């Protein structure tokens, strides 16, 4: 008989994608962002609330490590909002914003196209307003609609699945915050915000952490009032959503509560590519 050797199946390549509201990239730099980035070993790192424009970034932050590619969106208002996406493999294409001036002026979205998916790094607005009167809720819900409409168009053009991640600034269900009953009238847990989140989720997306950890209580943001984080009185408002056709390739979803340096902690996924 003729011996036919077995050809081993190629190992699947895994990509670690991390999202973190850094609450100021300069502040994060002072608090150890670069050592964390080197240790994290993620292929893609998305940060929100950078509070800085690309032109004034120090080079070591703009290019955080050899081989990283950085894409930035910044607000017209100095020291406000802003997002950045760092990737070890240069994206096939990049876009900033959703094409609507009143959102793009606040530097809230960076899109990067990769070989097998589109990635939208977004910093969703707070609805509370400067006076904590929920005055920005309409703007916030308009942003949700504009972003997911933009994602739909881009997916159709690229013919690729999508990842939408970042600080969504809304806790979806009571399991996602420590004090649900006392926050039903506060932006971040208003019925209309939660309903809007649910509507977009049902349009064809999966909340990766909740899908893989349906009963796990874990938070991604804590008030900066002393003792609150130590008591774990928090909210889960940072998400990695994937389109339903991408979910079979998600191998892990995580929240790294032990990472400090911001009032948020990193969240992410491990994706089979």
Nearest to 243 by CA among 201, 211, 197: 201
Q: What is the mean pLDDT of residues 214-242?
A: 97
Burial of 23 per CB tally in 10 Å (0-12, 13-18, 19+): buried
Answer with the residue of higher pLDDT: 58 or 43: 43
Give the distance, in angstroms, between the CA of residue 242 and the centroid of all CA atoms in the same chain. 11
Answer with the residue of higher pLDDT: 88 or 4: 88
Q: Is 90 exceeded by the pLDDT of residue 53?
A: no
**Per-residue pLDDT reduced to its tens digit, 156-195:** 999 999 999 999 999 999 999 999 999 999 999 999 999 9
CA 271 to CA 162: how far, in whole Å? 12
Q: What is the mean pLDDT of residues 25-43?
A: 90
Cα dihedral 224, 127, 111, 162 sign: positive
CATH code for residues 14-272: 3.60.10.10
**Predicted local distance difference test score (pLDDT) of residue 63:** 64
196 is catalytic: no
- Is residue 9 very low, low, confident or very high in pLDDT (cuts 50, 70, 90)? low
**Predicted local distance difference test score (pLDDT) of residue 1:** 47
Helix ranges, the chain (H): 25-30, 33-40, 59-62, 101-104, 137-158, 191-201, 208-212
Q: What are the residue boundaries of the structural domains of the chain, listed by start? A: 14-272
Residue 19's alpha-carbon distances to 85, 134, 135, 146, 153, in angstroms, are 9, 26, 27, 21, 23
269 in the Ramachandran plot: left (φ > 0), alpha (ψ -120 to 50) or beta? Answer: beta
Q: What is the mean pLDDT of residues 237-265?
A: 97
**Predicted local distance difference test score (pLDDT) of residue 67:** 72
Of residues 104, 142, 167, 256, which has the active-site annotation? 167
């Amino acid at each position: 008989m003729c011996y036919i050797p077995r050809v081993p199946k190629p190992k699947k390549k895994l990509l670690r994608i991390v999202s973190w509201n850094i609450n100021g990239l300069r502040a994060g730099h002072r608090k150890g962002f670069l050592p964390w980035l080197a240790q994290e070993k993620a292929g893609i790192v998305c940060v929100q609330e950078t509070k800085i424009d690309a032109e004034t970034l120090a080079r070591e932050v703009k290019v955080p490590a050899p081989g990283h590619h950085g894409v930035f969106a910044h607000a017209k208002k100095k020291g406000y909002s802003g997002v950045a996406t760092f990737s070890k493999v240069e994206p096939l294409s990049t876009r900033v914003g959703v094409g609507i001036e009143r959102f793009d002026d606040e530097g809230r979205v960076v899109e990067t196209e990769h070989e097998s998916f589109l990635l939208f790094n977004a910093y969703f607005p707070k609805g509370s307003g400067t006076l904590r009167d929920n005055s920005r809720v309409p703007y916030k819900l308009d942003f949700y609609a504009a972003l997911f409409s933009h994602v739909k168009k881009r997916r159709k053009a690229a013919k690729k699945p999508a990842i939408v991640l970042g600080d969504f600034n809304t806790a979806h269900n009571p399991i996602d915050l420590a004090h649900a009953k006392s926050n039903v009238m506060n932006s971040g847990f208003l019925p209309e915000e939660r309903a809007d989140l649910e509507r977009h989720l049902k349009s064809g997306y999966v909340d990766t952490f909740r899908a893989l950890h349906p009963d796990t209580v874990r938070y991604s943001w804590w008030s900066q009032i002393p003792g609150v984080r130590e008591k774990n009185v928090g909210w889960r408002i940072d998400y990695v959503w994937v389109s339903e056709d991408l979910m079979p390739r998600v191998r892990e979803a995580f929240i790294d509560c032990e990472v400090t340096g911001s009032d948020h902690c990193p969240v992410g996924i491990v994706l089979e590519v």
